[in-house]
Structure 1
Amino acid sequence: MSIPFPSGTRLVGPILGLLAVLLWRVREAKGPVSIKKIVIPPLGMATGMSMFVLPAFRIPWLWALGAVLIGALLLAYPLLRTTRLERDGEAIMMRRSNAFFAVLLGLFAIRFAARGYLDTILSGQQTAALAYLLAFGMIVRWRSQMFLEYRALTSTLALPSA
């Protein structure tokens, strides 16, 4: 059973979350990228899987798989297209794309609209579980691609001269 919130209050949390992500992204793009900075966010996010210990958050396996795949295949795509790593001397830097913020706003809008619909047929906890799995699939694919790009930029293999 979910607790009813006054209408304006339901919007405050997601907007604060969006602002936090935007500020984090600006701060993250200012410093050099490292393996730790690429790998730690998805590992930290993985701790959220503990929510499934509670029966209220459990959803059918097929829904879970679908949510992860939608996140990894559809929602990660804009992030993959707007994130590039570049070598700057000895450092690897994340090139900031102006489109990235538009992508985040679009993803926020999709999530918020879907949440409004899903809340009518699922419990709040199940909706949260689906949103988490969408985001997890998206983050894992995005960070995996960043990891591969980072490794390619830091590779010390010398190519033979022709």
Structure 2
Amino acid sequence: MSKPINKIEGSASSKMGVETIKLPTGRCMPVLGLGTWLESDCNCLRTPNVHCKAPAVHLQSTDEGQLTAALRTALDSGYRLIDTAFLYQNEAVIGKVLQEYFKNGKLKREDIFITSKLPFTAHAPEDVEKCLNMQLKALQLDYLDLYLIHSPLPFQKEILGQLDALRIIEKI
């Protein structure tokens, strides 16, 4: 059985020729999107304001200006799906660009499909809503269109003691 692919009549996706897939919720998701991984310094194992004290991992990055330019180019070219994650630490930049487009009338919130992800450091039930709210605040949005669990394997907090021991050994 083939997946239903269509264009949303009257939407920005339709006007730009972006095909969509209809989700079970009735919402249509563009089949083409911009992924934003490695567009910011990434403290991939740290979840601020959530109790996990994991070590930081820094990955290759580009600066805020490059991400801003990439987002503007993508949005101006018709991209309507933006994929990000808490771990990418770039949601504030994405939020600024989206607000710029909303305020100048280039886009409406309903024209954009935003996907983000719950980090593996925030799988504890008491951390999920906290983390989501931090992400929404950074993105300057009231809702996400799709929220995924970034990794099905949660961070094991008891491993932190072992990591501290390894850091001491590295210094010797």
Q: TM-score normalized by structure 2?
A: 0.30
Q: TM-score normalized by structure 1?
A: 0.31
Which structure ranks higher in relative contact order (CA pairs < 8 Å, sequence separation ≥ 6)?
Answer: 1
